[in-house]
């Protein structure tokens, strides 16, 4: 049983999707649609950079979504594979929803462009931060965050894999949490090079603005279930998609729990679709018993 998984922010790189664009008409169609909907040359940004522009959250989110859906359309047309489940890490959940048929691509790419803008603008640069705390158990990290908060926000933002949890919040509170963690013997605590503190309460202004956008979308009957970041459970009810996407902005990403839920439901192979192999690396740390593949160009497609 296959699951298709889709990467989130951080997977981007200049050149992504170019090989697919040059060799598959279905991929060219996806990039052309994104350019038309967004009214700028997103394809050129994906293929040529510059990297600093590609790293801006408002550009990164539609770029990764577009590259992921281009790769998905190639997989569908060249292999005929259909997954039992889809899932995505943060932004990647939108790719998973396009895969499921819940949201059409044009609406999704427009939405994530705005989502990226709202998230970037929710917290002034330098006010928030994110850090990876390695080897800490979830319960211990909750205690560390509670001790470090001191009236500010700091909380787990991504449960990525065993021993890899990311925290987010006010920069000063994140710094205190890192120091407390190190004092408790968790030596590997490092700040992440991100522009905003995603998936914590500081993102509420972004969620408030995103609500109006999600209100305007049309949600179609889902052709396959999406295992959501918020619940780490399969959802096949299109009527729940909007609330789950809205909650996701401020809630932690339950990636480890999502992967385990899919394994318990019978998934034996995870196929990462989109740029890079970040999620494949996380899945490998979660379970040694599953098969892994990724598709981002012709050479990786040939290995399916």
- pLDDT values of the chain reduced to their tens digit, one per residue, 304 residues: 999 999 999 999 999 999 999 999 999 999 999 999 999 999 999 999 999 999 999 999 999 999 999 999 999 999 999 999 999 999 999 999 999 999 999 999 999 999 999 999 999 988 999 999 999 999 999 999 999 999 999 999 999 999 999 999 999 999 999 999 999 999 899 999 888 999 999 999 999 999 999 999 999 999 999 999 999 999 999 999 999 999 999 999 999 999 999 999 999 999 999 999 999 999 999 999 999 999 999 999 999 9
pLDDT of res. 231: 98
Residue tagged active-site, from 170, 199, 258, 287: 199
pLDDT of res. 127: 95
Whether 29 is a known active-site residue: answer: no
The span from the CA of 97 to the CA of 273, in Å, is 13
Residue tagged active-site, from 90, 100, 161, 258: 90
Whether 89 is a known active-site residue: answer: no
pLDDT of res. 125: 86
pLDDT of res. 120: 92
- Residue 80: is it exposed, middle or buried by C-beta count within 10 angstroms (0-12/13-18/19+)? exposed
The span from the CA of 195 to the CA of 42, in Å, is 20
Using a cut of 0.75, tell me whether the model's pTM lies above it.
Answer: yes
The span from the CA of 87 to the CA of 177, in Å, is 30
Alpha carbon of residue 242 to chain centroid: 16
The span from the CA of 27 to the CA of 70, in Å, is 4
Find the length of the chain: 304
Q: Where in the chain is the domain with CATH 3.30.70.250?
A: 128-194
Note whether 92 and 231 are within 8 A (CB). no
Q: Where in the chain is the domain with CATH 3.40.366.10?
A: 2-122+202-301
Query: Residue 96 to residues 35, 142, 214: CA-CA distances in angstroms?
Result: 21, 29, 16
The span from the CA of 301 to the CA of 153, in Å, is 43
The span from the CA of 245 to the CA of 226, in Å, is 12
pLDDT of res. 194: 84
- Written out in words, the top-level CATH class of the domain with range 128-194 is alpha beta
Give the fold, CATH level 3, of 2-122+202-301: Malonyl-Coenzyme A Acyl Carrier Protein; domain 2 (3.40.366)
- Residue 226: strand pairing partners: 86, 235
Choose among 97, 20, 29, 98: nearest CA to 301.
Answer: 20
Ramachandran angles phi, psi of 211, nearest 5°: -55, -45
Note whether 94 and 108 are within 8 A (CB). yes
Note whether 304 and 75 are within 8 A (CB). yes
């Amino acid at each position: 049983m296959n699951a298709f998984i889709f990467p989130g922010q951080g997977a981007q790189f200049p050149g992504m999707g170019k090989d697919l664009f040059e060799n598959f008409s279905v991929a060219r169609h996806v990039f052309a649609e994104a350019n038309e909907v967004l009214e700028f040359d997103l394809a050129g940004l994906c293929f040529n950079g510059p990297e600093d522009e590609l790293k801006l959250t408002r550009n990164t989110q539609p770029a990764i979504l577009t590259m992921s859906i281009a790769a998905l359309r190639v997989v569908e047309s060249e292999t005929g594979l259909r997954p039992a489940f889809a899932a995505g890490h943060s932004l990647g959940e939108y790719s998973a929803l396009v895969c499921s048929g819940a949201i059409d691509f044009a609406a999704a790419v427009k939405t994530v462009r705005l989502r990226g803008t709202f998230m970037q603008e929710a917290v002034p640069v330098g006010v928030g931060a994110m850090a990876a705390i390695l080897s800490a158990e979830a319960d211990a990290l909750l205690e560390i965050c509670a001790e470090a908060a001191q009236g500010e926000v700091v909380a787990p933002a991504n449960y990525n894999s065993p021993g890899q949890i990311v925290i987010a919040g006010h920069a000063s509170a994140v710094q205190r949490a890192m120091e407390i963690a190190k004092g408790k013997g968790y030596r590997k605590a490092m700040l992440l090079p991100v522009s905003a503190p995603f998936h914590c309460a500081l993102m509420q202004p972004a969620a408030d603005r995103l609500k109006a956008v999600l209100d305007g979308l049309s949600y179609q009957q889902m052709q396959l279930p999406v295992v959501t970041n918020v619940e780490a459970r399969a959802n096949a009810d299109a009527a729940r998609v909007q609330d789950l996407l809205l909650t996701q902005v401020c809630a932690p990403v339950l990636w480890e729990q999502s992967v385990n839920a899919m394994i318990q439901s019978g998934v034996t192979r995870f196929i990462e679709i989109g740029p890079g192999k970040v999620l494949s690396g996380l899945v490998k740390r979660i379970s040694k018993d599953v098969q892994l593949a990724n598709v981002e160009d012709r050479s990786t497609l040939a290995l399916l």
